[in-house]
């Protein structure tokens, strides 16, 4: 029986018991297996469709309803010890608090992304390859904060030079065998370097010829294939070519896609393959290509080798950038219907940039906001600049227009990291909030790497439980804090007076408010 008719049967059964609602409630309460349709996660859905996952990677959530193991491992620089980050419950979301406490006051790197399929296809630091030496860099564990299902989690932030790989896999397609894969990426984080991939590649880390890879690619490199608009595009990396369709270069049906959370799909079977994609926050999937193998020699039949890569090309080309939240590879060519059900689960998982603090608004790039203090002394005070310094002032509807403008900030993707944010002054365009010697200032962006880092803050649920806290990108244990009505980046206890532990959690928790100007 195929997956759809099985789903219909389950639905029919539920509808017939629904006729007697008291009975239905009793019956549903008695359903003890977590594998009923409502809680099927992506790999349960692929299995029901007859194309099971043979690799399942995520730093944000379980991909099987029954998965209760580790999602990933981090290593901290303070003592080089490691810690596995698991799920909050079987089939649940990542326990990011484990990472936050283990990594507090130090820097953590993601060392392992565990395979949930039971096949041991873990991803670890990629070794050197034909195009670039190694080992590659590991991702900074705090660099891609996200919310999923209302819970804090972290994605895998790939800066150029970062890469993960497994050259000794089990169950991954080889030769011309059929397979499918999807990944969720940050559609606003990409570049034109080769090649931000997730999927099947060479077991030698060398370019062994056309057709030796089959991976999903995301970015705007135009060296090989490309699609409509200026990119970025979802394409298939088939080795010595990123393909957007049947032609080697241009295919009009492969659109520019830049959803903040992007579902990207590639699948292939003998002389047939497909590219699909959609918004991972809502709606369905579109098919960007569905047809025969490219009209270039060497790709039919395919010569897949079955290694797995993340963030790099098959030959360890590592000029690319991107962010990965989750992805799987299957055995067999998944039906569109199976993938559509997976997409329905993905959109219901609740990926969001909202900080989930429960109070206050969200930091949406492009919007204007004001940041209000939450400490009992000061709930009428907002972060504003005054004589180039950042301070808090009482602002209300009768404040002067100058004060209101000084207390208004335009949210941008972080200058140093698009998963975080930067705050541009409303009345001094081009000036941003930045720290210097741990004091906060409004200063003109000088374009330097240091300025970008000093002006980038990573939002998370407010440390007091209210609103939002803003971690310094380059001093991640320091948060934007008011102290004696002056604004700093402060640690929870430390040598400076403004690092005082007294009322620290309240002082670093801000409500994102409507803009005063």
Choose one: 65-73, 104-112, 234-242, 321-329; the region binding ligand AHR (CB under 6 A): 234-242
**Rounded Cα distance, 315 and 132, in Å:** 8
Report the residue number whose CB is nearest to ligand AHR: 313
Cβ-based neighbour number of residue 128 at 10 Å: 14
By CB under 6 A, residue 313 contacts ligand AHR: yes
Measured at the alpha carbon of residue 153, what is the angle toward residues 148 and 155, in degrees to the nearest 5?
100
Choose one: 116-124, 237-245, 271-279, 366-374; the region binding ligand AHR (CB under 6 A): 237-245
333: tokens are: 């060519």
By CB under 6 A, residue 387 contacts ligand AHR: yes
Measured at the alpha carbon of residue 99, what is the angle toward residues 98 and 102, in degrees to the nearest 5?
85
The residue within the footprint of ligand AHR, chosen from 44, 136, 454, 499 (CB under 6 A), is 454
Phi-psi category of residue 183: left, alpha or beta, with phi > 0 → left and psi -120 to 50 → alpha: beta
The residue within the footprint of ligand AHR, chosen from 207, 214, 254, 326 (CB under 6 A), is 207
By CB under 6 A, residue 237 contacts ligand AHR: yes
Q: How far is CA 367 from CA 119, 357, 423, 426, 461, in A?
A: 45, 18, 10, 11, 19
By CB under 6 A, residue 232 contacts ligand AHR: no
Using CB under 6 A as the binding rule, the residues of this chain from 410 to 449 that contact ligand AHR are 435-438, 442
The residue within the footprint of ligand AHR, chosen from 107, 300, 335, 386 (CB under 6 A), is 386
Which CB atom, from 380 or from 388, has the smaller least distance to ligand AHR?
388
Which CB atom, from 259 or from 289, has the smaller least distance to ligand AHR?
289
Which CB atom, from 150 or from 209, has the smaller least distance to ligand AHR?
209
Contact 81, 108 (CB under 8 A): no
The single residue of 315, 403, 406, 424 carrying the catalytic annotation is: 315
By CB under 6 A, residue 239 contacts ligand AHR: yes
Binding to ligand AHR by CB under 6 A, coded x per residue (else -) over 118-137, reads: -------------x------
By CB under 6 A, residue 315 contacts ligand AHR: yes
The residue within the footprint of ligand AHR, chosen from 73, 142, 200, 317 (CB under 6 A), is 317
Closest separation between CB of residue 436 and ligand AHR, Å?
A: 4
The residue within the footprint of ligand AHR, chosen from 474, 486, 500, 503 (CB under 6 A), is 474
By CB under 6 A, residue 231 contacts ligand AHR: no
DSSP string, 207-260: ---TTS-EEEEEE---SS-B-STT--EEEEE-SS-EESSSSSSB-TTS-----S
Closest separation between CB of residue 67 and ligand AHR, Å?
A: 30
By CB under 6 A, residue 406 contacts ligand AHR: yes
Cβ-based neighbour number of residue 223 at 10 Å: 11
Closest separation between CB of residue 216 and ligand AHR, Å?
A: 12
The residue within the footprint of ligand AHR, chosen from 195, 328, 371, 490 (CB under 6 A), is 195
Q: Is 38 helix (H, G, I), strand (E, B) or coil?
A: helix
435: tokens are: 């720290």
**Rounded Cα distance, 45 and 440, in Å:** 49
The residue within the footprint of ligand AHR, chosen from 165, 385, 404, 482 (CB under 6 A), is 385
Q: How far is CA 508 from CA 149, 277, 435, 490, in A?
A: 24, 39, 15, 8
What residues does 371 pair with on adjacent strands? 512
Which CB atom, from 68 or from 295, has the smaller least distance to ligand AHR?
295
Q: In terms of residues, how long is the chain?
A: 517
Contact 327, 63 (CB under 8 A): no
Choose one: 235-243, 271-279, 285-293, 375-383; the region binding ligand AHR (CB under 6 A): 235-243
Closest separation between CB of residue 242 and ligand AHR, Å?
A: 5
By CB under 6 A, residue 486 contacts ligand AHR: no
Choose one: 152-160, 240-248, 369-377, 499-507; the region binding ligand AHR (CB under 6 A): 240-248
The residue within the footprint of ligand AHR, chosen from 242, 275, 395, 470 (CB under 6 A), is 242
Look up 315 and say whether it is catalytic.
yes
> How buried is residue 9: exposed, middle or buried, by Cβ count under 10 Å (0-12/13-18/19+)?
exposed
**Rounded Cα distance, 244 and 255, in Å:** 9
Which CB atom, from 437 or from 495, has the smaller least distance to ligand AHR?
437
What residues does 83 pair with on adjacent strands? 74
- Kindly give, in sequence order, each residue whose CB lies less than 8 Å from that of residue 12, ignoring residues fewer than 6 positions away: none
H or E element in which residue 6 lies = helix 3-18
Q: Which single residue is written with the structure tokens 């006729």?
A: 19
**Rounded Cα distance, 246 and 294, in Å:** 4
By CB under 6 A, residue 268 contacts ligand AHR: no
Q: Is 328 helix (H, G, I), strand (E, B) or coil?
A: strand
Q: Is 376 helix (H, G, I), strand (E, B) or coil?
A: helix
The single residue of 44, 100, 179, 239 carrying the catalytic annotation is: 239
User: Site for ligand AHR (CB under 6 A): how many residues?
Assistant: 27
190: tokens are: 């990409």
Interacting residues with ligand AHR (CB under 6 A):
131, 194-195, 207, 237, 239-242, 313-315, 317, 385-388, 402, 406, 435-438, 442, 450, 454, 474
Instruction: List the catalytic residues.
Output: 239, 315
């Amino acid at each position: 029986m195929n997956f759809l008719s099985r789903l219909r049967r389950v639905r029919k059964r539920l509808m017939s018991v629904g006729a007697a609602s008291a009975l239905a409630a009793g019956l549903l309460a008695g359903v003890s297996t977590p594998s009923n349709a409502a809680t099927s996660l992506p790999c349960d859905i692929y299995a029901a469709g007859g194309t099971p996952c043979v690799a399942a990677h995520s730093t944000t959530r379980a991909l099987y309803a029954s998965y209760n193991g580790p999602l990933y491992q981090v290593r901290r620089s303070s003592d080089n010890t490691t810690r596995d980050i698991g799920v909050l419950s079987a089939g649940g979301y990542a326990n990011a608090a484990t990472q936050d406490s283990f990594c507090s006051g130090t820097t953590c790197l993601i060392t392992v992304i565990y395979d949930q399929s039971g096949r041991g296809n873990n991803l670890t630091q990629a070794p050197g390859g034909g195009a670039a030496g190694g080992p590659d860099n590991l991702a900074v564990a705090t660099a891609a904060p996200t919310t999923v299902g209302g819970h804090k989690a972290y994605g895998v932030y790939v800066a150029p030079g970062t890469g993960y790989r497994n050259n000794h896999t089990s169950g991954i397609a080889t030769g011309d065998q059929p397979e499918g894969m999807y990944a969720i990426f940050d559609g606003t984080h990409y570049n034109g370097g080769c090649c931000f991939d997730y999927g099947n590649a060479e077991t030698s880390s060398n370019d062994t010829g056309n057709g030796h890879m089959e991976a999903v690619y995301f970015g705007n490199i135009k060296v090989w294939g490309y699609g409509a608009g200026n990119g970025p595009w979802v394409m298939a990396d088939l080795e010595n070519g990123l393909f957007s369709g049947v032609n080697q270069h241009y295919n009009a049906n492969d659109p520019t896609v830049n959803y903040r959370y992007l579902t990207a799909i590639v699948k292939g079977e003998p002389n047939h393959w497909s590219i699909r994609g959609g918004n991972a926050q809502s709606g369905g999937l579109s098919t960007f290509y569905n047809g025969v193998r490219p009209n270039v020699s060497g790709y039919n039949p395919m010569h897949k080798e079955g290694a797995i890569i993340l963030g790099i090309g098959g030959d360890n080309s590592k000029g690319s950038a991107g962010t990965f939240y989750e992805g799987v590879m299957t055995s067999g060519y998944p039906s569109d219907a199976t993938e559509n059900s997976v997409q329905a689960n993905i959109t219901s998982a609740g990926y969001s940039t909202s900080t989930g603090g429960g109070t206050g608004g969200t930091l949406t790039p492009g919007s204007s906001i004001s940041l209000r203090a939450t400490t009992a002394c000061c709930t009428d005070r907002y972060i504003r600049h005054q004589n180039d310094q950042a301070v808090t002032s009482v602002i209300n509807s009768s404040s002067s227009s100058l004060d209101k403008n000084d207390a208004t900030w335009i949210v941008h993707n972080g200058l140093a990291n698009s998963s975080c944010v930067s705050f541009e002054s409303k009345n001094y365009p081009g000036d941003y909030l930045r720290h210097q010697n741990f004091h906060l200032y409004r200063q003109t962006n000088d374009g330097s790497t240091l300025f970008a880092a000093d002006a980038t803050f990573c939002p998370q649920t407010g440390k007091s439980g209210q609103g939002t806290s803003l971690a310094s990108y380059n001093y991640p244990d320091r948060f934007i804090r008011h102290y004696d009505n002056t604004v700093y980046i402060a640690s929870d206890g430390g040598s400076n007076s403004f690092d005082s532990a007294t009322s620290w959690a309240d002082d670093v928790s801000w409500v994102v408010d409507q803009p005063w100007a």
